[in-house]
Structure 1
Amino acid sequence: MLVKTFRGAFVCTALGLALGVLYGGWTALGVVAILAVLEISLSFDNAVVNAGVLKKMNAFWQRIFLTAGVLIAVFGMRLAFPVVIVAITARLNPYDAVHLALTDKDRYQQLVTDAHPAIAAFGGMFLLMIFLDFIFEERDVQWLRRIEQPLARLGKVDMLSVCIALVVLLVTSFTFATHAHQEGGVHADKGQTVLVAGIAGLITYMIVGGLSGFFEDRLDDEEEREQEAEEAAARTGRSRSAVVLAGRAAFFMFLYLEVLDASFSFDGVIGAFAITNDIVLMALGLGIGAVYVRSLTVYLVRQGTLDDYVYLEHGAHYAIGALAVILMVTIQYEINEVITGLVGVVLIGWSFWSSVRRNQALTAAEPDSEAAARVSVP
């Protein structure tokens, strides 16, 4: 199972490293390898959260996630996204932006750095909404019970997560984003930029997540009716067709996963500029990491890891909340990407350790329960 799931990632690693050597020699190979490790370490929590969504999709859409989804992740976010940033902020057409990235790498890096407030606000709001919707939801399994129980009760208030996200955005725009800056030679207010980008991230989450949730609910209702119809058809000897709605539901969940991956990749793309400003090497290294993250997502689903280690999903969402806060703080202050990666690793490692302890406690309690049951039998 492990080799089969990661086979594509191994092939992409070999191809990516080989292309790196052909493009820039052995030094480029080292840069590509470092970028791949950076992407994997920063996006491990992404794999856990993605697995929670992907397990609701059938094998066909899981393959789409690993094929077409990888192309979108690599060429869309890891290659085209930095170019689009420069094109928008510097008011250049795409061709000139690509030419600038290949010929004047220092200027290109500076333009991307100037665009960081908008990137951080958009991604921060999107990720913050994911965390808030998770933490305010009533659920049977709770990890940090003293925190999650009262928050789940508060979550019964309509639109609470949206209100909190907007408050965070307003506070950020009037604190971290109070200094004016230059964009493309035009004096611009960074607070206004952050506010608009944050609202765009919030709207994106509500549209994509809302459509996904709508079709998922429709799918559940349709599956219940379909099951009743199949039972009735079995009694009469007739056959029924499969649920047609599954395709639409899976499609919008796929879109949700792509936007989620895009938000997670913001810090990886920005952090990559601390290592290199060559967009070719950046695309190769981050692309290899993206393939590994997606293969890990599918592996978690097929192995049922989230069912065995029930707190992993909690830890990943806490890591999402931490990343959202970090992105908003980086609008004004620089935070090393190593710290960003360690926060996610620590939270997920803690949740994994808690899951192991829970499983051990349940296993130890089973013999006592069986003995009590035998004693109670007359």
Structure 2
Amino acid sequence: MATRSLLTLPLVLTLSAAAVAWVVLGPAAALAFAALALLEIAMAADSSVPMAGIAGRLHSPARRLFLSLGIVAGVLAMRLALPPAAVAVGGVTDPASAVDEAVFAPGSFTAHLAEVRPALAAFGAAFIWLVFAEYLFNTDRLSRRSWLGGLEARLARVARPRVWALVTAVAGVLVTTSLVGADDGWAVTTVLPVALGGVAGTGAYLGSKRVAAWSLRGLGGTDTGSVATGGSWRVHTYASTVVFERGLVVFMLFEILDGVYSLSGSGLLGGDGLGALEQAAVAVAAIGVGAVFLARLTSRLDQAAGLQRLRYLKAGAAYVLGVLAVLLWTSLLVPVPGIVVAWFGSVVIGLALATSLPWRAWARRLRRRRVTAG
């Protein structure tokens, strides 16, 4: 599939939705939608590598479901449903009021989301660190080349890797909670949300893995590389656990670290004179375009075996998660600059891509051509 065909559907959707927004809501809404859609497409480009890694852990028909409906539905659900759910679970308001505020009063909702942000950040940091630790400690015992040298290779061979993953996550929760407590005089209202958030994040990860292991046992598999090809609904249950993992990562990266909530239009819609429902519709449409592009780009990477040909790309994607977890823990102590959040994923993935390319082989071919020409 060429790049042109890869972009055809997302661009058609973007242009069509922009035209509708122009006719129904005016040129300002159309321009705001286009800006948001481009932002979502750029975000999708960063997320496609980890998503392709997830797809590689599945077999048909679960892979087909994941690459088509699963990614789009998962991204939309996590980006749109998790913030109101977090506000409701945090006790700031009831579920109905949280949804109502998210749509009709995004400014007020953003303030309520900020109230539960410490618990959310602690939850996300613990959960995402454990996902990263799967790679760091090579819990599936896969054969691979180390990207960062000897230390990474040694960590990939440790005995009882799942225990190491859990120990490091718990250590992160304890250290962060202690530092937050010391910084605020051990106020219960400050320390308790961080501690409970970290415990909940660890528990959510373990629960997700338990569901995945149960699904695999029902399929006759014992690890993520041996999912059966049958049509059992357990395959789809397993796929849903990995969709949940990546959806949570996307939410934490773009909603919590940079303090932006999707339905507020990332600050691009506030001055356009649009009503709350109109802002929400434009933002949801942009998120949908990004989700479609993510699904198609992930499918392209999977079909082209991009993660096998570019051997360090999966490592780069894993380290993006590790850095994100550390940034989330750090953000509980000091503000994290938006520029760091905006660029760290692209930089890490770029370095992984650059080191994966066969520079030496290309140089040898060039030398041979020069010798032949001479």
Q: Scaled by the length of structure 1, what TM-score is found?
A: 0.77
For the pair 1:269 / 2:270, whether they are aligned, the reply is no
1:160 to 155, 158, 164: 164
* Structure 1 contact 180–189 (Cα < 8 Å) conserved: no
The whole-number CA distance in structure 2 between the counterparts of 1:359 and 1:314 is 20
What's the offset of the Cα at 1:158?
Answer: 5.5
* Corresponding letter in the other structure for 1:288: V
* Structure 1 contact 78–283 (Cα < 8 Å) conserved: no
1:256 to 219, 222, 242: 242
Change (3 A) 1:177 1:5: farther
Change (3 A) 1:110 1:49: same
Deviations 1:169-211 (A, max 9, x none): 1111121466679xxxxx9623211221222221222222344
What's the offset of the Cα at 1:312?
Answer: 0.3
Number of residue pairs matched by the alignment: 342
Q: Which residue in 2 is equivalent to 1:50?
A: 51
Q: Which residue in 1 is equivalent to 2:69?
A: 67
The whole-number CA distance in structure 2 between the counterparts of 1:126 and 1:159 is 15
* Structure 2 contact 137–155 (Cα < 8 Å) conserved: yes
Q: Which residue in 2 is equivalent to 1:374?
A: none
The whole-number CA distance in structure 1 between the counterparts of 2:44 and 2:213 is 24
Change (3 A) 1:45 1:320: farther
* Corresponding letter in the other structure for 2:198: G
Q: Which aligned pairs between 1:99-178 and structure 2 lie closer than 5 A?
A: 99-137=100-138, 138=141, 139-156=143-160, 159-176=163-180
Q: Which aligned pairs between 1:10-49 and structure 2 lie closer than 5 A?
A: 10-18=11-19, 20-21=21-22, 24-49=25-50
* Structure 1 contact 209–256 (Cα < 8 Å) conserved: no
Q: Which aligned pairs between 1:180-191 and structure 2 lie closer than 5 A?
A: 189-191=189-191
Change (3 A) 1:116 1:175: same
- List runs of 5+ in structure 2 lacking aligned partners: 271-278, 369-374
Q: Which aligned pairs between 1:226-375 and structure 2 lie closer than 5 A?
A: 244=230, 247-270=233-256, 271=258, 272-273=260-261, 275-276=267-268, 278-357=279-358, 360=361
Q: Which residue in 1 is equivalent to 2:274?
A: none
Q: Which residue in 1 is equivalent to 2:208?
A: 208
- List runs of 5+ in structure 1 lacking aligned partners: 182-186, 226-241, 368-378
SS at 1:189 equivalent: helix
Q: Scaled by the length of structure 2, what TM-score is found?
A: 0.78
Deviations 1:7-63 (A, max 9, x none): 543344335434544665333333333333444444544321221221243453334
* Structure 2 contact 137–161 (Cα < 8 Å) conserved: no
* Structure 1 contact 42–340 (Cα < 8 Å) conserved: no
The whole-number CA distance in structure 1 between the counterparts of 2:360 and 2:62 is 31
Q: Once the two structures are aligned, what percentage of the paired residues are identical?
A: 23
The whole-number CA distance in structure 2 between the counterparts of 1:177 and 1:33 is 44
- Larger Rg, first or second structure (1 or 2): 1
Name the Cα RMSD after superposition.
3.4
* Corresponding letter in the other structure for 2:170: L
Change (3 A) 1:330 1:19: farther
Q: Which residue in 2 is equivalent to 1:229?
A: none
What's the offset of the Cα at 1:134?
Answer: 0.7
Change (3 A) 1:314 1:221: closer
Q: Which residue in 2 is equivalent to 1:238?
A: none
Change (3 A) 1:308 1:84: same
* Structure 1 contact 121–197 (Cα < 8 Å) conserved: yes
* Corresponding letter in the other structure for 2:193: T
